[in-house]
Amino acid sequence: MKISELSRLTGASVRSLRHYEEQGLLTPRRLDNGYREYHDLAVEQVRTIRFYLKLGLTTAQISGFLHCVMKNKEAFCEEVLPVYKKKLRELNEQIELLTAIRSNLEERIRSIHDERSALQGFDEK
Amino acid sequence: MKISELSRLTGASVRSLRHYEEQGLLTPRRLDNGYREYHDLAVEQVRTIRFYLKLGLTTAQISGFLHCVMKNKEAFCEEVLPVYKKKLRELNEQIELLTAIRSNLEERIRSIHDERSALQGFDEK
DNA sequence: AATAACCTTAACCTCAATGTTAAGGTTTAT
DNA sequence: ATAAACCTTAACATTGAGGTTAAGGTTATT
């Protein structure tokens, strides 16, 4: 199939498909006119790529184990777990940071409300 | 004072101070030789800028109320609360998203462990 | 007068997937 | 034969604070 059909079947934009190829995640053969020609299996492969992207992995990380997971159960591919664990550590850090900022912000919003109702109370007297 | 002294007093890099100026947060006067000359008040102003940046606000947002908060209590500045609330909504969205990804990832890590110990158990039999 | 230690503007780099032209070749249907 | 609908590569834009470097002017010290 050609690129627009793969795009339609997977939901990935044509631009994204070309990008995945640049990053080494897809390697379609070329027709005589230079058009990309994809195997049927590419549909599953693109879905797999997008699945890992949604987990927050980069194309570079995905390329490290994509071939393995296309042929085996994920648990068989040694490269997967370290990447998952690294990503998990990053997520925990980010969540912790954002949560701290949120607390800070909530406290400041509260104190603005408090100060205003104090002024309000003062005016009312 | 000149830029490097302000940098030293505030912890902001010289590059950052020039950036704040580009964004309209600082407006030092210029000496005859073109050098920036800052008021003593600039120290407090830069500290205030950096405080809001740490809350995750952008320079554009900060510029909307910086002059007000430099002269008044924060609660007096009407522009602050909407920005805080907007930021809070964004934070909640981000945290929710990251937390969902984290759950997903934890589940996948767990299932890899499970599958491997199942294989392990199988081998042991 | 030379050197260190300042200062200036301007511009590119980071991160990373993907949107958006631009400029042009191919195929297909009318 | 022409237009619609494909396809190609290449390059810039997005986000945004701030690092880095280049090229050069100023001030101060020796």
Q: B1-49, pLDDT tens digit by residue?
A: 999 999 999 999 999 999 999 999 999 999 999 999 999 999 999 999 9
Q: For nucleotide D26, give the residue with the nearest CA to its C1'.
A: B33
Q: Is B108 on the interface with A (CB under 8 A)?
A: yes
How is chain A split into domains, by residue range? 1-72, 79-125
Q: Decide if pLDDT at A121 tops 80.
A: no
Return the pLDDT at B41: 96
Task: Report the residue of A101, A113, A115 to disrupt the B interface, i.e. the one with the largest count of B CBs within 10 Å.
Answer: A101
Return the pLDDT at A114: 94
- What is the least distance, in Å, from the CA of A62 to any CA of chain B? 14
d(Cα B90, Cα B87) in Å, to the nearest integer?
5
Which DSSP state fits B76?
A: G
pLDDT digits (tens, 9 = 90+) for B70-102: 999 999 999 999 999 999 999 999 999 999 999
**Interacting residues of A35 by C-beta distance below 8 A, sequence separation 6+:** A2, A3
pLDDT bucket at A123, cuts 50 / 70 / 90: low
Return the pLDDT at A122: 58
pLDDT digits (tens, 9 = 90+) for B100-122: 999 999 999 999 999 998 866 66
Return the pLDDT at A118: 83
**Interacting residues of A33 by C-beta distance below 8 A, sequence separation 6+:** none
Does B55 contact A105 at a Cβ distance shorter than 8 Å? yes
Q: Is B91 on the interface with A (CB under 8 A)?
A: yes
Task: Report the residue of B51, B85, B109 to disrupt the A interface, i.e. the one with the largest count of A CBs within 10 Å.
Answer: B109
d(Cα A3, Cα B10) in Å, to the nearest integer?
54
pLDDT mean over A88-110: 96
Return the pLDDT at B125: 41
pLDDT digits (tens, 9 = 90+) for A25-50: 999 999 999 999 999 999 999 999 99
Residue A24's SS3 state is coil
pLDDT bucket at A119, cuts 50 / 70 / 90: low
Q: Is B97 on the interface with A (CB under 8 A)?
A: no
Decide yes or no: CATH 1.10.12.10 for domain B1-71. Answer: no
Which DSSP state fits A23?
A: T
Return the pLDDT at A99: 97
Residues A70, A44 contacting (CB under 8 angstroms): yes
d(Cα A12, Cα A10) in Å, to the nearest integer?
5
Question: What are the chain B neighbours of A112 within 8 Å (beta carbons)?
Answer: 74-75, 80-81, 84
**Across all strands, nucleotide nearest B54 (CA–C1'):** D17
| Chain centroid, CA A22 distance in Å | 17
Q: Is B109 on the interface with A (CB under 8 A)?
A: yes
Structure tokens at A72: 């085996």
Strands (E) in chain B, as ranges, are 29-30, 36-37
Residue A37's SS3 state is strand
Q: How would CATH label the architecture of A1-72?
A: Orthogonal Bundle (1.10)
Strands (E) in B3-115, as ranges, are 29-30, 36-37
